[in-house]
Homo-oligomer: A and B are copies of this chain.
C-alpha cells in the first residue's frame, strides 16, 4: 500500500502539471517532465507523440493559440507502485481563443516516475469526453 506522503507528493506533482499548463509557458511545462528521451504524450484527438523534443514542441503549439486557459481538475485518482505513480482526472477547461470563451472536458491519464523525492511526468494522455 502506498503511504500518505507519497500520494500527497504525487498529488502535488499533478497539480503542478496543471499549474504549468495554465501559465502557457513552455519552460514551466518543460520542468514538469522527466529528462529522459522516452517520454510520450497524446493530446485530445492526436496520435502519439514520442521523444522529449517532440513532446515539448507539441506544448509550444498548444500554447500558441489560447490567450488564457483555466483548469478545474476533478475526480482525481492517484495510484503508486514503487517509483511509478499514475493519475487519472477530468480536466474541466475554460479557454479564451481569439476573444471567444470555450469550455471543454478532457479525460486525462498522467504517468510519473519518482527520482529521489521528485515526481516527473513521463506520459500524458488527454482525450475528449463526448458522453457521460
Chain A residues proximal to chain B, CB less than 8 Å: 38, 40, 42, 44-48, 50, 75, 77, 79, 81-84, 86, 88, 90, 105, 107, 109, 111, 113, 122-123, 125-132
Contact = CB atoms under 8 A, between A and B. Distances in A.
A44 B44 CA distance: 10
Label chain A's interface by main secondary structure: strand
Contact of A107 (B42, B75, B77): B42
Contact of A125 (B40, B81, B107): B107
B84 A40 contact: no
A123 B125 CA distance: 12
A45 B125 CA distance: 13
B90 A48 contact: yes
A45 B122 CA distance: 23
B84 A82 contact: yes
A68 B70 CA distance: 42
Given A42-B88, A109-B42, A123-B109, A47 B82 contact: no
Interface centre among A42, A48, A105, A127 (most CB of B within 10 A): A127
